[in-house]
Structure 1
Amino acid sequence: MPPRNLPPRSETPTTPEDLINVAMVEDDAACLHALAHAVEAAPRLRMAWAAANLRTALARLPDEPIDVLLVDLGLPDGSGLDLIAAARGRWPDCAVMVSTIFGDETHVLRAIEAGAMGYVLKDLSAEELVEEIHSLHAGGSPINPMVARKLLMQRSTPPAAAPAPLAATPLSARESEVLRLIARGYTVEEVAGALGVSPHTVQTFVRRIYTKLQVNSRAEAVREGTRQGWLSAD
């Protein structure tokens, strides 16, 4: 459960609809306490619930819709991956971000495949993590820079003597540009600003990308674009 006697938020939204409902699962009591305080003190964030293990978190999932779920992978009674999949199944619009000590390729890819949209390491301060929560809810895909670089380096392959031609992309030029910006972590608003179009137009492009690539999330779209060779590592 969230710690009691939390400090008041620095700003209070006028309506409950303005609040971003946050849940977190963390087995380190001190870390959980610090994060819960930071969330409660942050503008527009509401601490819905917190849990220290997988069993409690799974039991709390049906309580109310969650906008952002922050989850550790190494829980005392199971894997955070199971919680990610359960949360995405229960609340499809819930944005999941992993906060963990594991920065290797296997853990990152398994988390993304389970439905995570953000992946950060536990070297962030509570205040920095709050910023990443806002970014995630705004449509971004926060990922630790060192983790991202490691993934790109590990998954890069030396050029072959006779490289096979890339698969033809079904995306239009503008849809391809939107996908490239999404892969770089741009939010909908940032993509709109970069391309000089409205956020509504960007959302239309994103829906078309999902349909053409037969995916259901930004992470899946980026993974498919990378697999097909449509996205570069720069």
Structure 2
Amino acid sequence: MAQGLSVVIVEDDERFRGAFASVVAGAPDMALVGTAADLPQGLQLLRERRPDVVLVDLGLPSGSGIELIRFAHEHLPETDVMVVTVFGDEPHVMASLEAGATGYLLKDSCAEDLTDQIRTLHAGGSPISPVIARQLLVRLGPLPQPSPSGEALLSPQERQVLTYSAKGFNFEEIARMMGVSRHTVMTYVKRSYRKLQVHSKTEAIYEARKLGLVRD
């Protein structure tokens, strides 16, 4: 049986995977119990090893690391998830946190303090790269007032759907709350995507927030 804090690494870049593995394996209070190079391998490792901590990249072959984060959050509540990625934009950050990640580091952070970050995460902290922390602080600041052009861009129903989506409700729940069919909700969603020139819910919420059309 492995001794110490058990860690799984899910990273497709061999160079980063090797560097992270070396750091973790060299820590006297940690045990590297597996590494994976893609999403299916990562999910299998989580099921088999049930680690204390998983380090996961977002851009993985055969799927997104966000799927792995969501799986861990739903099925392995005792496993702490830390994203280690090159993606520092708000949509990726928010999607990861909403899926259940409690740490978010950029790969340009110093590798030598990775073990300290893992310990902090497992102790109940939330290690976050400074540039990501700044984004979150800005996001939590005063909301922009809707501009006349922004108000006219989306209909009240389209804004309402995005507002509910931002709060975490699924389309079935939104349909019940609005008293309409799921088909009608999907019509509002498609229209808002087209008007905002986006292709996903996360992007739509991000753009709507910038315009002051969605309030958490």
TM-score, with length taken from structure 2: 0.63
Alignment match, 1:133: 118
Identity %: 47
* Unmatched segments (≥5 aa) in structure 1: 1-14, 161-226, 229-234
Alignment match, 2:71: 86
Q: Alignment partner of 2:104: what SS?
A: strand
Of Structure 1 and Structure 2, which has the larger fraction of its residues in helix? 2
Alignment match, 2:149: none
Q: Is the contact between residue 61 and residue 90 of structure 1 (CA under 8 Å) also seen in structure 2?
A: no
Post-superposition offset of 1:153: 1.9
Give the number of equivalent residue pairs: 147
Alignment of 1:90-169 (within 5 A): 90-157=75-142
| Deviation per residue, 1:95-124 (Å, 9 max, x gap) | 100001111111111111100000010012
CA, structure 1 residues 157+40, in 2 after alignment: closer, same or farther (shift >3 Å)?
same
Post-superposition offset of 1:86: 0.9
* Unmatched segments (≥5 aa) in structure 2: 146-214
- CA separation in 2, counterparts of 1:133 and 1:76? 24
| Deviation per residue, 1:149-175 (Å, 9 max, x gap) | 122224422687xxxxxxxxxxxxxxx
- CA separation in 1, counterparts of 2:125 and 2:28? 18
- CA separation in 2, counterparts of 1:114 and 1:158? 23
Larger Rg: 2
- CA separation in 1, counterparts of 2:144 and 2:101? 31
Post-superposition offset of 1:29: 0.2
Q: Which runs of 4+ in 1 moved over 4 A?
A: none
TM-score, with length taken from structure 1: 0.59
Alignment match, 1:53: 38
Alignment match, 1:7: none
Q: Is the contact between residue 83 and residue 105 of structure 2 (CA under 8 Å) also seen in structure 1?
A: yes
- CA separation in 2, counterparts of 1:73 and 1:135? 21
| Deviation per residue, 1:49-107 (Å, 9 max, x gap) | 10010011112221122100100001122100000111122211111000011111111
